[in-house]
Amino acid sequence: MSDCDGLQPAERLWTPWRMSYLGGERPDPGCVFCRVQETDDDATALIVHRGEHAFVIMNLYPYNTGHLMVVPNDHRSDLARLSPETRAEMAELTASFTTGLRQALRCEGFNTGMNLGDVAGAGIADHLHQHIVPRWRGDANFMPIVGSTKVLPELIPATYAKIRADVARQKSGIDEVVLVAYDPAREHVLLDSGRLPRIEARPGESSWPAALAWLRSRVATADLIGWAGPPSTAADASTAPALAMGVTPGEAPMVSVAVALSSLPTEDREALEASLNRRSSH
């Protein structure tokens, strides 16, 4: 016979201390995960998605390329203090983002998990978060989950653009990706019939390889630089994703930005301006 004799299961579940915890903690202005939620510029903050109870953000100090964190909106250090809805949404986001990363980054596996408490290695112990770390065969023999510096093969703005483009595409249902391709001096941008090129991605294919393949069939050297769509993820439900690309100078067919800007449709102008602003801020 156990110590709980005489207690019905429901009584054990309805513990009053749990209720006081659920309503107890307030957003902490000193907490980076609380503060980042107030921004309008998700692209600069590296937020890839905002849900109802949780958001997904890239780790600025990644253990590996594409390292994401699923973070509850509420400032909580303990899983038991999160609402069941929040925990369910975090589990759903972890599932859908591992699927999405497999396609966007062609990774082969993941380390996922939480470090609860600073004793367990949590960098921001007061605001719990779930790590999603993509893995490739041969990327490391040993994955250090705590501390340690890794050499990353790709710049964070480019990885952000790959992930955000697929998130935006999924939300909007628009398979087209807008391409802002310009030379390093930012003097020329590639146009297609007076507009920024629009490339259709195939089902099951990530948006960025389609855009890069299209561009590389026209110029010798081109690389993905970053995100050129709207700063806020709230806009992702209604606009086509836009990617910024860098092209070797002097390669045709390039059109002068000065000439093109005034004649560009508004959404193209916005994508171009977002791309240029984003590039100068990184």
Q: Is residue 127 within the footprint of Zn ion (CB under 5 A)?
A: yes
Pairing of strands 54-58, 47-50: antiparallel
Sign of CA dihedral 96, 121, 158, 86: positive
Q: Is residue 34 within the footprint of Zn ion (CB under 5 A)?
A: yes
In the complex, the smallest distance separating the C-beta of residue 29 from Zn ion, rounded to whole angstroms, is 9
Pairing of strands 242-247, 176-182: parallel
Q: Which is nearer to Zn ion, 34 or 240 (CB)?
A: 34
Task: Decide: helix, strand or coil at residue 125.
Answer: coil
Among 49, 127, 129, 131, which one carries the catalytic annotation? 129
Q: Of 10-18, 67-75, 138-146, 178-186, which part binds Zn ion (CB under 5 A)? A: 67-75
Q: Of 33-41, 48-56, 165-173, 233-241, which part binds Zn ion (CB under 5 A)? A: 33-41
Give the count of residues interacting with Zn ion (CB under 5 A).
Answer: 6
What residue ranges in 136-235 does DSSP mark as E strands? 176-182, 188-189, 198-200, 222-227
Q: Which is nearer to Zn ion, 75 or 102 (CB)?
A: 75
Question: Would you say 225 and 159 are in contact if contact means Cβ atoms under 8 Å apart?
Answer: no
User: Token pair for residue 164?
Assistant: 């955000």
Token match 């990353």: residue? 152
Q: Is residue 31 within the footprint of Zn ion (CB under 5 A)?
A: yes
Q: Is residue 75 within the footprint of Zn ion (CB under 5 A)?
A: yes
In the complex, the smallest distance separating the C-beta of residue 55 from Zn ion, rounded to whole angstroms, is 12
Rounded CA-CA distance 136/190 in Å is 34
Closest Cα to residue 230, out of 239, 222, 221, 220? 239
In the complex, the smallest distance separating the C-beta of residue 74 from Zn ion, rounded to whole angstroms, is 8
Q: Is residue 125 within the footprint of Zn ion (CB under 5 A)?
A: no
Q: Which is nearer to Zn ion, 31 or 79 (CB)?
A: 31
In the complex, the smallest distance separating the C-beta of residue 232 from Zn ion, rounded to whole angstroms, is 21
Annotated catalytic, 282?
no
In the complex, the smallest distance separating the C-beta of residue 28 from Zn ion, rounded to whole angstroms, is 5
Q: Is residue 53 within the footprint of Zn ion (CB under 5 A)?
A: no
Name 113's bridge partners: 131
Q: Is residue 82 within the footprint of Zn ion (CB under 5 A)?
A: no
Angle at Cα 277 formed by Cα 275 and Cα 282, nearest 5°? Answer: 95
Q: Is residue 216 within the footprint of Zn ion (CB under 5 A)?
A: no
Number of Cβ within 10 Å of residue 159's Cβ equals 26
Q: Which is nearer to Zn ion, 75 or 195 (CB)?
A: 75
Rounded CA-CA distance 65/96 in Å is 18
Angle at Cα 18 formed by Cα 12 and Cα 22, nearest 5°? Answer: 150
Q: Which is nearer to Zn ion, 75 or 186 (CB)?
A: 75
- What residues act catalytically? 129
Q: Where does this chain bind Zn ion (CB under 5 A)?
A: 28, 31, 33-34, 75, 127
